[in-house]
Chains A and B, each alone.
Chain A
Amino acid sequence: MEKALKRYAPIFVLPTFAAFVIGFIWPFVQGLYLSFCKFTTVDNASWVGISNYIAAIKDASFTSSFKFTVFFAVVSILSINIIAFMLATLLTQKLKGTNVFRTVFFMPNLIGGIVLGYIWQILINCLLSIIGQPILALNSTAGYWGLIILMCWQQIGYMMIIYIAGLQNVSDDLIEAAAIDGAGGWDVLWRIKIPMVMSSITICVFLTLTNSFKLFDQNLALTGGEPSHSTEMIALNIYQTFYARSGMQWKGYGQAKAVIFCVIVILISLIQLNATRSKEVQQ
């Protein structure tokens, strides 16, 4: 039976594989090609060589948006994961109503980014005008923290579910044995629970890392990069490169930026995966 399955494997894989090639590999290759061209649509590209990459690297707005993205990513990865883990620990205790709380914390994740962005824009602007501060479009500090709060609010619930699943897999025997050996709550957390949920941490950090770098809708809706591009993240910067000026060359620059961006995100996440995976333990 297994042999037969193996023999037919390519056929079973074919539909998905074809879809993957059409929907991912081919556009990716085409995108790579277009980054060396100037174009208006994908059909009228003309080759210009590496000049797009030179222009992209020289562009000061690209580097400043990259810096902003990194600052954003570091703080949001830390805060999302720490808070999500704390909530998960809390909600795996034997408390009343944990299911209700899990649902409530998970819910923001079901709302789309654009909608969330506009809702939070109204909330934050309202708060800022009550306390007499300049509103979001004029206030880059508020824009930065607004983005962090928004992302935390949206993502904590999702990460919490993954951590809960991880924590529930930590066997009670281990914790009991540790307690008998005299370990306190803190020791149990650091020496038993965290090493045991390391695989969940890998996943969650990976997800928050890539989400933070790729963030677009929330950025567009909440601040739109205002005031004068100072809260513009890298994905929005690429979008602006495409549409803020007319001319075929700008599409090429934007495409080159997108390729650079893609490579950077892949590199950073590979490094992260390696780093956290090496700490995982086998049960």
Chain B
Amino acid sequence: MKNKKRWLALGMAAVMTAGIMTGCGSSSGGSSDSDGGEGSVYYLNFKPEQDPQWQDLAKAYTEETGVEVTVVTAASGEYETTLMSEMGKSGAPTLFQVNGPVGLANWKDYCYDLSDSDVYKELTSEGHALKDGDAAAGIAYVVESYGIIVNTELLGEAGYKTEDIQSFEDLKKVSEDISSRSDELGFTAFTSAGMDGSSDWRFKTHLANLPIHFEYVDGGSAEAIEGTYLDNYREIWDLYINNSTCEPSELAAKTGDDSRNEFLNKEAVFFQNGSWEYSNLTEDGTFTDDNLAMIPIYFGAGEEAEQGLCTGTENFWCVNKEADEADIQATLDFMNWCVTSELGTKTMGEDMGFVIPFKKAIESSNLFVKQDAEMTADGKVPVAWDFSTIPSEEWKNGVGSALTAYAADQTDDNWKAVESAFVDGWAEEYALAHQE
């Protein structure tokens, strides 16, 4: 009798414990451990802008093939942390992304070699693969462009055309003229160059690409950046912050949304951003293809007449090597379907507005992407995305801090701090990234 009670109690305790554990377990989002054999896909998506389209595409794929596809999108700026915790779980993502060679350093042990896959053979050029030695660790799935987005209507009101801007000198002349007449015109040249975390990447990464790029063009290498073009960097930064919608000292707290809203409210003519902004600018009808354009970020370096938009990618698909055989196959099939099927290419090209570097890609409806193609056809040379060689996030943060401090107080000493963060910071971070 006593023993029975004891066993009963033990049993109850076990049930309770089990209850606690399942309570924890059931919330994890993994799907790869569902009904075996078939395999399933778990895509950890990087781009919050395209989340709804990915969800729809996943649903359509499941309806067509019966293979389960889960798409989870990480919050903006939280991809690396989300990926790290998801990868540690059972039911880890089968499809994830890295941002280039630096990001790959974290994840190369998890990258399945894609060089024999069907989707790899669909790439328009091998240059779109991210190599780890001989293995294709990742493949680019979208090519994007950035530059200076122009409100052509306002530019016209100020008495200029986009064709008037063919060099940094032109850009400087036009924007300084507009900002000096801003009271009379009712708008100014540039939207706020916000240095809040939601916006500072436009300057500490995308704008910083130009001095890095032109140094590479001159034969510089990632091992030691010399800062040859930092004076140009300063000039364009001065132009951005002194001809803008707000006082330079307020930039530290301005966000990406602030900047976009200023552009949408027609408070400024120029907005440095990329092709991914197209749907944000056009979705409520404020802008159409008739009053938008994107021009290169003229920098006063190289052959400006032949400079194109900054075009490249930092979005590489990687397949998780640690996943089940069946899941890997399912993932490869899904990727291939996305870039070859009618629905897949249409969704990626039209709904997401991507240019995908695959043979069966359809023409994108994105104006900026079309302009990039036109410029390239006219013989202009796109500026490569050399910021993917930046040794670490820490470098970007250092440059960002220094730029913010300089914006608030534009002295030579403060610019020296930017130069030091740029050049010495690079050397330091490069050494740290390459130590063993």
A binds B: yes
Let me know if B373 is at the binding interface, CB within 8 A: no
Q: Are A41 and B250 in contact (CB under 8 A)?
A: no
B401 touching A228 by the CB < 8 A rule? yes
The complex places the Cα of A165 from the Cα of B143 at a distance, in Å, of: 63
Q: State in angstroms the CA–CA spacing of A107 and B425 once bound together.
A: 44
Cβ-defined contact, B20 with A136, below 8 A: no
Contact with A along B65-90 (1 / 0, CB 8 A): 00000000000000011001001100
Q: Is A226 an interface residue (CB 8 A)?
A: yes
CB distance from B299 to the nearest CB of A (A): 26
Neighbouring B residues of A41 by C-beta, 8 Å: 84, 87-88
Q: Which of A129, A136, A245 contacts B433 (CB 8 A)?
A: A245
With a cutoff of 8 Å between Cβ atoms, the chain A residues found around residue B295 in the complex are none
Does A18 touch B at the CB level, under 8 Å?
A: yes
Q: Which A residues, 1 to 46, have Cβ-Cβ distances below 8 Å to chain B? A: 8, 11-12, 14-15, 18-19, 22, 40-44
B252 within 8 A of A: yes
Tell me if B135 is interfacial: C-beta within 8 Å of chain A. no
Q: Is B10's CB under 8 angstroms from A125's CB?
A: no
Q: Does residue B429 face the partner (Cβ distance < 8 Å to A)? A: yes
Asked whether, in the complex, the Cβ of B249 is within 8 Å of the Cβ of A134, the reply is yes
**What are 25 contact pairs spanning A and B, CB under 8 A?**
A11-B6, A14-B10, A14-B14, A14-B17, A15-B13, A15-B20, A19-B17, A19-B20, A40-B109, A40-B110, A41-B84, A43-B88, A136-B253, A138-B252, A138-B404, A138-B405, A226-B401, A243-B80, A244-B393, A244-B397, A246-B102, A246-B105, A246-B393, A247-B106, A248-B106
* A137 proximal to B (CB < 8 A): yes
Known contacts A14-B17, A15-B13; A243 and B393 CB within 8 A of each other: yes
For B78, the closest partner residue in chain A by CB is: A243
Contact B20 A18 (CB under 8 A): yes
User: Nearest chain-A residue to B104 (Cβ)?
Assistant: A246
Given the contacts A40-B87, A40-B107, A245-B432, A137 and B253 also touching, CB distance less than 8 Å: yes
Complex Cα spacing A226 to B250, Å: 15
Q: Report yes or no: B13 in contact with A11, Cβ–Cβ below 8 A.
A: yes
Q: How far is the CB of B318 from chain A (nearest CB, A)?
A: 13
Report the minimal beta-carbon distance from B435 to chain A, rounded to whole angstroms. Answer: 8
Pairs A-B, 6 closest by C-beta atoms: A137-B252, A41-B88, A245-B392, A244-B394, A228-B401, A15-B16
Q: How far is A227 from B366 in the complex, measured between Cα atoms in Å? A: 38
Residues of chain B within 8 A of A192, CB atoms compared: none
Distance in angstroms from B268 CB to nearest chain A CB is 21
Using a CB–CB cutoff of 8 Å, the interface residues on chain B facing chain A are 6, 9-10, 13-14, 16-17, 20-21, 80-81, 84, 87-88, 102-103, 105-107, 109-110, 195, 197, 249-250, 252-253, 322, 391-394, 397-398, 401-402, 404-405, 408-409, 429, 432-433, 435
Q: Is A224 an interface residue (CB 8 A)?
A: yes
Chain B: which residue is nearest A245 at the CB level? B392
Complex alpha-carbon distance, A135 and B381, angstroms: 41
Chain A residues 153-170 with CB under 8 Å of chain B are none
In the complex, A44 Cα to B322 Cα: how many Å?
Answer: 10
- Give complex CA distance A112, B106 in Å: 32
Q: Which of B9, B17, B253, B435 contacts A8 (CB 8 A)?
A: B9
Cross-chain contact B249 with A135 (CB below 8 angstroms): yes
Contacts of B14 in A (CB 8 A): 14
Using A19-B20, A41-B84, A135-B253 as known contacts, say yes or no to A245 and B405 having CB atoms under 8 A apart. no
B9 to nearest A CB, angstroms? 5
Tell me, in angstroms, the Cα distance from A43 to B84 when the chains sit together: 11
Q: Does A18 lie within 8 Å of B249, measured CB to CB? A: no
Report which residue of A43, A227, A244, A245 has the largest number of chain B beta carbons within 10 angstroms of its beta carbon.
A245
B405 near A135: Cβ-Cβ < 8 Å: no
A60 CA / B391 CA spacing, docked (Å):
20
Q: Whole-angstrom distance from the CB of B425 to the nearest CB of chain A? A: 10
Chain B residues closer than 8 Å to A18, beta-carbon distance:
17, 20
* CA gap between A42 and B85 in the complex, in Å: 9
Interface residues on A, range: 20 to 34
Tell me the minimal C-beta distance from B94 to chain A in angstroms.
15
Asked whether B80 lies within 8 Å of A244 as measured between CB atoms, the reply is no
Closest residue of chain A to B88 (Cβ to Cβ) is: A41
B9 touching A11, Cβ below 8 Å: yes
Rounded to whole Å, the gap between the CB of B195 and the closest CB of chain A is 7
Tell me the complex Cα distance, A22–B25, Å: 12
Identity of the chain A residue whose Cβ is nearest the Cβ of B20 in the assembled complex: A19
Given the complex of chains A and B, what is the CA–CA distance between A244 and B429 in angstroms? 10
Beyond the given A40-B107, A41-B84, A226-B401, please list 13 additional residue pairs across the A-B interface where CB-CB is below 8 A: A11-B9, A40-B87, A41-B87, A129-B249, A138-B404, A138-B405, A226-B404, A227-B401, A240-B394, A244-B394, A245-B392, A245-B393, A246-B102
Q: With a CB–CB cut-off of 8 A, which chain B residues contact A11?
A: 6, 9-10, 13
Q: Is the CB of A245 within 8 A of B394?
A: yes
Q: Nearest chain-B residue to A134 (Cβ)?
A: B408
Max count, chain B CB within 10 A of own CB: residue among A12, A44, A246, A247: A246
Residues on the B chain within 8 Å of A135, using CB: 249-250, 252-253, 408
Q: Are A227 and B405 in contact (CB under 8 A)?
A: yes
Chain B residues, Cβ within 8 Å of A249: 435
Report how far A245 CA is from B16 CA in the complex, Å. 43
Contact partners of A134 in chain B: CB under 8 A: 249, 408-409
The answer to whether A136 and B252 touch (CB under 8 A), given A226-B401, A244-B394, A246-B392, is yes
- Partner of A125 from the list B80, B197, B253, B401 (CB cut-off 8 Å) is B253
Cα A19 to Cα B17 with chains together (Å): 7
CB distance from A165 to the nearest CB of B (A): 31
Closest to A241 in B: B394
A15–B10 Cα distance when bound, in Å, is: 10
CA distance A138 to B248 in the complex (A): 12
- CB pair B17–A129 under 8 Å, yes or no, is no
Are B9 and A246 in contact, with the CB atoms below 8 A?
no
A227 CA to B250 CA in the complex, in Å? 15
Q: For residue B252, which residues in chain A have a CB less than 8 angstroms away from its CB?
A: 135-138, 226
